[in-house]
Amino acid sequence: MHEMSLTESVVEILCEEGRRQGFARVKTVWLEIGALSGVEPGAMEFCFDVVTRGTLAEGARLEIVRTPGQGWCLDCEKSVALSERFGACPECGGYKVQMTSGDEMRVKELEVE
């Protein structure tokens, strides 16, 4: 979903940090994208090349770190793996699962010069 505008937000963050921290070029960007965030990494890579053109991140390498989905099952009273956002608990099949991680969308770090 909306990978284009998310990628534009990433580039905005890079430009802002570039001014704030005084770097002129970004060589690598590490993003943390959760498995349950609804973001398609392939689409984001495609958009990244287009959106970075003419910016300080033109030609930069995009590294996407995927974090797995996890939730807390209220019935099993434990942490379980989640493969979809509002999916059932893989152990009891119930839906009383609160997502605890996997929806991250973060710019983690940059290699700059």
Partner 1 sequence: MCTVCGCGTATLEGDKAHGDKHGHSHSHAHGDHDHSHAHDHDHHHHDHDHDHDHGHGHSHDHDHDHHHHDHDHAHGAGGEALDYGAGLAGVHVPGLSQERIVQIERDILSKNRSYAEENRGYFARKGVLALNFVSSPGSGKTSLLVRAINDLKDKHAIAVVEGDQQTSNDAERIRATGAKAIQVNTGKGCHLDAHMVGHALETLDIADNSLLFVENVGNLVCPAAFDLGEAHKVVLLSTTEGEDKPSKYPDMFAAADLMLLNKSDLLPHLDFDTDACIAHALRVNPNLQTLIVSAKTGEGLAAFYAWVEARSDLARRKAEARKAG
Given a contact cutoff of 8 angstroms between Cβ atoms, the answer to whether 33 and 105 are in contact is yes
The reply on whether position 46 binds partner 1 by CB under 8 A is: no
45 binds partner 1 (CB under 8 A): no
| Identity of the residue numbered 49 | D
Burial category of 50 from C-beta neighbours within 10 Å (exposed 0-12, middle 13-18, buried 19 and up): exposed
Nearer to partner 1, 19 or 77 (CB): 19
CB 79 to partner 1: min, Å = 20
Q: Is 21 in the site for partner 1 (CB under 8 A)?
A: yes
Report if residue 10 touches partner 1, rule: CB under 8 A.
yes
How far apart, in Å, are the Cα atoms of 21 and each of 16, 27, 100?
Answer: 8, 15, 32
The answer to whether residue 66 forms part of the interface with partner 1 (CB under 8 A) is no
How many C-beta atoms surround the C-beta of residue 47 within 10 A?
Answer: 21
Stretch that binds partner 1, among 8-16, 61-69, 75-83 (CB under 8 A): 8-16
In whole angstroms, the minimum distance from the beta carbon of 60 to partner 1 comes to 13
Alpha carbon distance 4, 7 (integer Å) = 5
Residues that bind partner 1 (CB under 8 A): 1-2, 4-6, 8-13, 15-17, 19-23, 31, 38, 51, 55, 85-86, 95, 105-113
